[in-house]
Every structure is written in structure tokens, then in C-alpha cells.
Amino acid sequence: MNKTTSEKKRSVERPASTDIEREETPFEAVAGICSVLVVGLFILTFLAQNYLIPSGSMKNTLLIGDHLVVDQITLAPPASWMPLIRYREPRRGDIVVFRKPVYQPGIDAPNADGTPQYTPLVKRLIGVPGDHIHLRNGIVSVNGVAQPVGFAQPTTTDNFNEFLDDFPSVPPAEASGATESWTVNLPGYLHDGDVVVPPGMYFMMGDNRHNSLDSRFWGFVPRANIIGRPLFNYWSFEAADGQLEQTGFGHQFAWMGHVALHFFSGTRWKRTFHVVH
């Protein structure tokens, strides 16, 4: 059947531009990029941040060269301006990132102006306020209950250390790396051979318990020092113990060159997007 004259006329008069997509202007393109950058900056500043594992204190849970995305919100004090966020208090067994409660010259690097820098650390939370803690032959007991070793490096006859594995039976003064303040204050927190965690404080230990400077050496971590908890490992690159703790422009430049040359061979691809727990 042939089209009527009026139908042909409407077909001819239909604008051809309806089938052509409108091109994005340079201003709109720049605005779109800026929007993505603003959202990304907001996430990195307020919701998450990255953290690099520089030492083997959490081995084998976390390895030197792991790059972590850290959730800064869940363990933060509740904020009225973000009512939909699920907040909670730190729990026993959490892996947390926190600011070290003391500054130890010779162990911790100072700020650029020479002032003390309270180094961010990552450890496992062993004791919450009110907990009674002690170690016997490397086994942690909390409130009289022995905890499964699980994630931690086991104690053997070859690696046994009386201070580390029978804590707090040996005074910190006899341990290399222990702070003077903790040596003085620890007796005040002892009850029947247990360390009692005071209100607002937390007891932290590394999973690599025989190679970790933690609460056994410098004491409790205040609630306000807790930054957040690692979510996942977004990139892992092989590095030797102490290699990522070196400072100075020369070292940083050499390290960037090393990464560029060995990116594919040095990346631990199986750890990419590995969830931290």
C-alpha cells in the first residue's frame, strides 16, 4: 500500500538531527573530569586512604610491599553529618592502622623539621578495655581463655623468647626496644600476673610475634590514635626487610627506578585485591 501524500510530507519534514548525538563541549569534558577528581579526593581524604607495609611485623598476614586501602570511617567516632555510615567500636581480632603512642628516637624517623613523628603502624588488636591478658609459651590468654594461634607465627623451641612468649613475666627493662615509660608504668596495670587494659586503651600485637615491636614494648594505644582498618590489598611489590623504611631523595629515586624495571616480575599478582582479615 502506498503512503498518502500527508504521510510522505511528514516523513520529509522530520528533522534529521534527531538521530545525531550532541557532541560534548570542552567545558563539559573538563567538568566531568573535575567531578571524578573531586569524588576521588573526597574518598581518599575522608573515607579511605592507602597504607604501605614497610616491615615484616605482620607476616604472613601482610607482607612487606603490600599496598592497602584503609577504611577510615567504620572505626571513627560517629558523625552526625554522615548518618548512613555504619560505625562500630574496635573489636578483638581486628587488624587496625593506628598512630604509634610513643616516639622512639633511633627507631622512628622524625618529621622534616626534626620534630617527633608518631608513626602509623598496622597490628592486630589483642585486648580491648577491661581485658586481662598474658602470654604463656607464646599462647595469648584473654580473660583466662587461651586464644587460637591461627594467624600468628607459632612459638617453637628454636624461636622461644622469654620476654615475648611469657609476657609480662619478664620486665620490659630487660628487652631491647622497650620504652622507659612502659617499664615504669607496666606494674600499675598488672593483676595476678595479667596485664589489665585500662578504659579507652587497646593492646596491639603483630602476627609475626617474634619480630614485632608492639604493645609489649611501648604499651597501650589510645582510642583516639586508631585511624581505621585495612580492607584489601590493591598492589603488592616484593621488597626486602627495611628497604621501604629508608629515607632520602637518593633512595626514593633508586626505588622508583627499581619498580619501573621490575614491575611485572616483582609484583605479587596473586595478592592483588586480596581481602585483609
Task: Please state, in angstroms and as integers, the Cα–Cα distance from residue 209 to each residue in 105, 163, 174, following that order.
Answer: 22, 11, 17
Instruction: Give the global pTM.
Output: 0.81
* Identity of residue 77: P
The structural domains of the chain, with segments of one domain joined by +, span: 49-79+88-106+118-275
Q: What phi and psi values does residue 273 have, to the nearest 5 degrees?
A: 65, 25
How many other CB atoms are found less than 10 A from the CB of residue 249?
7
The cell for 50 is 592507602
How many other CB atoms are found less than 10 A from the CB of residue 221?
25
The cell for 187 is 606494674
Please report, in tens digits, the pLDDT of each residue of the chain (277 residues total). Answer: 555 555 555 555 555 545 555 666 766 555 555 554 444 444 444 445 789 999 999 999 999 999 999 998 888 776 655 566 678 999 999 999 999 999 998 888 888 888 888 889 999 999 999 999 999 999 999 999 999 888 888 899 999 999 999 999 999 998 989 999 999 999 999 999 999 999 999 999 999 999 999 999 999 999 999 999 999 999 999 998 888 887 778 888 898 999 999 999 999 999 999 999 8
Largest CA distance in the chain: 104
CA dihedral 256, 257, 259, 262 (to 10 degrees): 180
The Cα 206–Cα 213 span in angstroms is: 8
What fold is seen in the domain 49-79+88-106+118-275? Umud Fragment, subunit A (2.10.109)
